């Protein structure tokens, strides 16, 4: 078959909603490769457009030029294409309301989340957005998204951290910047954010956010507070927040209440998902009534039974579907799209030069200079780990001017913001050696011996430990 067939379907009676089972529909149409079938439904759910392609229309989606990633005059970036060739756009800023957005990117392991994240981060740099990026996979999710070493230096994001303590420092810094803007804009009589007049658009991105927000994580409650407050208050102040996660269920992400508003009103992209996640999105009303999303298989192409007597059968690997997704808040929420295919065809030694080209050269945008004294040394020196955490969350006995004093010293000896940690935020429990070792194991896919783990644990900014303690804790973890 070399033609494209398009069918229009309408509900039989007014008020009826079209429902269908994607796999059964493909079988009824005698289509072995479900990726050749696309079904779109309208908002009311009473009309559908069925398109049958001769081959997978999303097999190759390649950008012509990195400049395609630059945000348009409506605040949207071009992240890939739909099955019908139309652009898939992700809104980062709404110029009509003056609002930054809340961004959620969900995907299981191997779904292409890291590549999708790189595209979004590169688009942010090219679009003049200041990005605070937390890569909780130890920097492996997006190694090309390296941060500045200090004000004015080259980098692809303004500040990158790779630890949970560094992430908390970033969230606190973003929150303090937000509060400073709120005060300044109030004095100016401004109720909406005007991009680059005078402040840049800012995004706080947390990659592998499930590690920060899952049950038992050391900073879960505190991080949940900051994410909710930034998501609720930051929009009108030009501060957006984005979470990239491997969530199987919303409860793994700080509780469903944390994300419900972000899911309903934010920009949501679903790569390959788990059945429990999809069930909750539907039952909670977070997807439009009647919307059915066809599953995204791990591999593309026709899968068929092969007789053991078929000697001519070729045992070729089927192409993967990494980067295939649903842009739930886009123009075609029930239609598959695919992120741009970027980077080298095979893994490279070190940073991928093709991905670096996507970001472009030079220094990235930064937080406005007027806020530097307030947000302190954690941002100014681009700290990570406990050094960053102590710079923005100093201990009470570091107050040099008494109980009511505002001038405090941070862990690095510089001044920090006088604004207190909100009373609603509980102090995080102290990290145990087990927590620290587990963080090292989670950040490394390759096997590590006890000596390597010891070196990495002692480099995380916490109290130094001995080899025997590491070995004992590893035994407890294995058991």
- Position 386 in a domain: no
- Position 416 in a domain: no
Judgement on whether residues 154 and 236 belong to the same structural domain of the protein: yes
- pLDDT of 428 above 70: no
Which two tokens mark 173?
Answer: 């810094």
Residue 114: CB atoms within 10 Å:
19
The model's pLDDT over 149-197, given as tens digits with 9 standing for 90+, comes to 999 999 999 999 999 999 999 999 999 999 999 999 999 999 899 999 9
Judgement on whether residues 30 and 74 belong to the same structural domain of the protein: no
Percent of the chain with pLDDT over 70: 80
* Helix locations, 104-192, DSSP H: 113-126, 164-188
- Position 96 in a domain: yes
CB-CB contact of 287 with 260 (8 Å) = no
Q: Which residues of 28-66 are buried (b: 16+ CB within 10 A; e: fewer)?
A: eeebebbbbbbbbbeeebbebbbbbbeebbbeebebeeb
Handedness of CA 449, 452, 454, 460 (dihedral sign): negative
- Kindly state the average pLDDT of the residues 279-284: 60
Judgement on whether residues 336 and 472 belong to the same structural domain of the protein: no
CB-CB contact of 46 with 16 (8 Å) = yes
Least confident of 136-140, 184-188, 240-244, 282-286: 282-286
Give residue 53's pLDDT: 87
- Position 17 in a domain: yes
- Position 372 in a domain: no
Q: Fill in the DSSP letter of residue 304.
A: -
CB-CB contact of 469 with 436 (8 Å) = no
- pLDDT of 119 above 70: yes
Judgement on whether residues 252 and 222 belong to the same structural domain of the protein: yes
The CATH number of the domain where 275 resides is what?
A: 3.40.50.300
Judgement on whether residues 103 and 197 belong to the same structural domain of the protein: yes
Least confident of 69-83, 95-109, 121-135, 173-187: 95-109
Q: Which of 306-315, 404-413, 431-440 has the highest mean pLDDT?
A: 431-440
Judgement on whether residues 138 and 272 belong to the same structural domain of the protein: yes
Least confident of 7-16, 255-264, 369-378: 255-264
Residue with tokens 């790189």: 118
CB-CB contact of 136 with 212 (8 Å) = yes
Domain of residue 106 covers: 66-298+319-359
Q: What is the mean pLDDT of the chain?
A: 83
Judgement on whether residues 24 and 127 belong to the same structural domain of the protein: no
As a whole number of Å, the CA-based R_g of the chain is 24
CB-CB contact of 468 with 453 (8 Å) = no
Q: Which of 10-19, 34-43, 46-55 has the highest mean pLDDT?
A: 46-55
Stated length of the chain: 479
Report the distance separating Cα 396 and Cα 408, nearest Å. 9
Judgement on whether residues 72 and 42 belong to the same structural domain of the protein: no
The model's pLDDT over 33-48, given as tens digits with 9 standing for 90+, comes to 777 888 887 777 788 8
Least confident of 4-8, 61-65, 413-417: 413-417
Judgement on whether residues 42 and 89 belong to the same structural domain of the protein: no
More confident residue, 380 or 417: 380
Judgement on whether residues 192 and 45 belong to the same structural domain of the protein: no
Give residue 257's pLDDT: 63
Report the distance separating Cα 235 and Cα 305, nearest Å. 52
Judgement on whether residues 204 and 290 belong to the same structural domain of the protein: yes
More confident residue, 440 or 206: 206
Contacts 24+ apart (CB under 8 A), 23-28: 23/294, 23/295, 25/50
Q: pLDDT-derived band of residue 430, with 50, 70 and 90 as boundaries?
A: low
Q: pLDDT-derived band of residue 301, with 50, 70 and 90 as boundaries?
A: low
More confident residue, 248 or 153: 153
The model's pLDDT over 70-89, given as tens digits with 9 standing for 90+, comes to 999 999 999 999 998 899 99
Strands 408-409, 336-339: pairing is unpaired
- Position 126 in a domain: yes
Judgement on whether residues 31 and 114 belong to the same structural domain of the protein: no
Report the distance separating Cα 262 and Cα 266, nearest Å. 5
Facing residues of 41 across strands? 48
- Position 72 in a domain: yes
* Helix locations, 14-163, DSSP H: 22-28, 113-126
- Position 222 in a domain: yes
The structural domain count of the chain equals 3
């Amino acid at each position: 078959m070399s033609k494209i067939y398009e069918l229009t379907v309408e509900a039989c009676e007014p008020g009826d909603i079209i429902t269908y089972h994607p796999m059964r529909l493909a079988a009824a149409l005698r289509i072995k490769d479900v990726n050749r079938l696309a079904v779109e439904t309208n908002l009311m759910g009473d009309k559908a457009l069925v398109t049958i392609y001769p081959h997978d229309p999303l097999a190759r989606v390649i950008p012509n030029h990195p400049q395609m990633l630059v945000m348009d005059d409506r605040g949207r970036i071009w992240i890939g294409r739909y099955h019908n060739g139309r652009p898939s756009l992700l809104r980062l800023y709404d110029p009509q309301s003056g609002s930054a957005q809340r961004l959620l990117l969900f995907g299981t392991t191997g779904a292409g989340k890291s590549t999708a994240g790189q595209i979004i981060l590169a688009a942010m740099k090219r679009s003049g957005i200041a990005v605070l990026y937390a890569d909780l996979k130890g920097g492996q999710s997006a190694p090309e998204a390296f941060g500045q070493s200090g004000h004015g230096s080259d980098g692809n994001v303004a500040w990158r951290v790779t630890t949970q303590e560094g992430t908390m420092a970033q969230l606190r810094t973003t929150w303090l910047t937000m509060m400073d803007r709120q005060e300044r804009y109030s004095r100016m009589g401004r109720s909406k954010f005007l991009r680059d007049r005078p402040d840049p658009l800012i995004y706080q991105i947390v990659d592998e956010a499930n590690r920060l927000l899952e049950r038992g994580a050391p900073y879960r409650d505190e991080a949940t507070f900051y994410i909710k407050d930034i998501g609720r208050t930051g929009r009108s102040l030009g501060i957006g927040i984005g979470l990239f996660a491997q969530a199987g269920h919303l409860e793994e992400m700080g509780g469903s209440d944390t994300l419900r508003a972000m899911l309903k009103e934010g920009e949501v992209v679903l790569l390959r998902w788990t059945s429990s996640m999809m069930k909750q999105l539907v039952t909670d009303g977070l997807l439009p009534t009647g919307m059915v999303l066809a599953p995204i298989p791990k591999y593309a192409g026709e899968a068929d039974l092969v007789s053991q007597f078929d000697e001519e059968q070729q045992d070729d690997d089927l192409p993967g579907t990494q980067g295939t997704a649903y842009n739930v808040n886009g123009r075609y929420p029930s239609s598959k799209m695919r992120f741009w295919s970027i980077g080298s065809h095979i893994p490279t030694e070190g940073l991928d030069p093709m991905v670096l080209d996507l970001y472009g050269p030079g220094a990235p945008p930064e937080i406005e200079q007027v806020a530097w004294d307030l947000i302190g040394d954690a941002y100014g020196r681009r700290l990570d780990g406990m050094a960053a955490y102590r710079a923005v969350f100093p201990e009470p006995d570091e107050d040099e001017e008494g109980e009511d004093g505002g001038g405090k010293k941070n862990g690095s000896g510089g001044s920090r913001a006088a604004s207190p940690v909100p009373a609603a935020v509980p102090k995080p429990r102290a990290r145990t050696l087990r927590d620290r070792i587990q963080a090292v194991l989670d950040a490394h896919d390759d096997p590590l011996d006890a000596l390597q783990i010891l070196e990495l644990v002692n480099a995380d900014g916490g109290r130094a430990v001995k080899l025997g303690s590491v070995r004992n804790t590893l035994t407890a973890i294995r058991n």
